[in-house]
Copies of this chain bind each other. A is one copy, B any other.
Amino acid sequence: MKLGEFELISLLSKTLKNKRNGIKVGIGDDTAVFELNGTLGLLTCDALVEGVHFLRNWKSLTPDFFYYLGRKLVSISVSDVASMGGAPLYSLITLGIPDWMEVEELKELYEGVNSALEEYDFSLIGGDTVKSPNFFLDLSLLGTSNKNRVMLRSKAKPGDLVGVTGTLGDSRAGLEQLLRGKVEDTYLVERFLNPEARLKEGVKALEIGVLCSTDVSDGFVFNLYTIAESSKVRIDLNSSEIPVSENLEKFAGDGALQYALYGGEDYELIITFPEEKKEKLENLGFKTVGTVSEGEGVFLDDKFLEKKGYDHFKGGV
């Protein structure tokens, strides 16, 4: 199939029939949002597939591979909920288990899942376990917003500033080491295999009154485009402000900024916010990296940036 992932989602949305009245946000944001008995519920799911999101031979490259895989499965869905400003409640896991998998590996995976559940403070309450020629994992997550409000990609306003947590591009640099079959910088590899969901930052940003957010899953520029397009605004970045780790600078040299812009799977939070909230948000760990104005597109130091990202569907691992 030649269609990219986003074209597929678009095809899906067109044929879908969203019938219920309670739906607040359907397909097209980080989670779906619905109202149930006066509470806002959030639903999202994320899959990891052998040969696409990870390779089986990585278990020989990193001792805690299955543990990390379990943690990552949880963290990437929690990141979706975090970018809405919500908190996770209950989850289900589907595992497609191949013949080659050892019981010890499965136990290690569960330990990773459990450690992430404890950290983000929610429960796994069910799932489906099936045989599969190819290993896959799928987690679905029900969350809720205590404030009865969520942050959306479509809420950026001209005059807003753009903020982001953490550092960008590390994950891609970690992935490349795994693909080369040689782990040189374990920090970067762990940033790819064991990303941290910015749950606390998302919940607090909502409390502070932030309206617009998404997470960096497909790449910083790509995810900024999802904000720019759904909010119908232009976003300008200042290259000197883009947060890059020392490890990435060492790994990528002059190329570090490219990793930060297009790398993907960082699971940092992007927000836009009015100037008066800047101090509070910077105290929370958000770095101000750009501005929102009328217009369209994403620009770096006034130079137009192409909408491209890390599309598993087109690229593979």
Contact = CB atoms under 8 A, between A and B. Distances in A.
Looking at chain A's contact residues, the main secondary structure is: mixed
Interface stretch (A96-104, A161-169, A256-264): A96-104
B126 A31 contact: yes
Nearest to A91: B43
A107 to B, nearest CB: 7
Contact of A130 (B53, B100, B106, B123): B53
A121 interface: yes
A313 B90 contact: no
B107 A15 contact: yes
B94 A130 contact: no
Interface in A1-42: 1, 3, 5, 8-9, 11-12, 15-20, 22-23, 26-27, 31-32, 34, 36-39, 41
A140 B1 contact: no
A124 interface: yes
A300 interface: no
A131 interface: yes
A9 B129 contact: yes
A100 B9 CA distance: 18
A34 B5 CA distance: 33
For A5, A38, A130, A133, the residue with the greatest tally of chain B CB atoms inside 10 Å of its CB is: A130
Interface core residue of A19, A43, A107 (most chain B CB under 10 Å): A43
A279 to B, nearest CB: 35
Interface string A191-230: 0000000000000000000000000000000000000000
A127 interface: yes
Contacts of A18: 123-125
Contacts of A34: 89-90, 125
B123 A49 contact: no
Contacts of A296: none
A83 interface: no
Contact of A125 (B26, B100, B110): B26
Contacts of A26: 125-126
Interface of A: 1, 3, 5, 8-9, 11-12, 15-20, 22-23, 26-27, 31-32, 34, 36-39, 41, 43-47, 49-53, 89-90, 92, 94-103, 106-107, 110-111, 114, 117-118, 121-134, 136, 138, 140, 142, 144, 312-313, 316
15 contacts: A1-B102, A1-B103, A8-B129, A19-B117, A36-B39, A36-B144, A41-B90, A43-B126, A43-B140, A45-B127, A92-B140, A96-B136, A130-B312, A131-B313, A138-B138
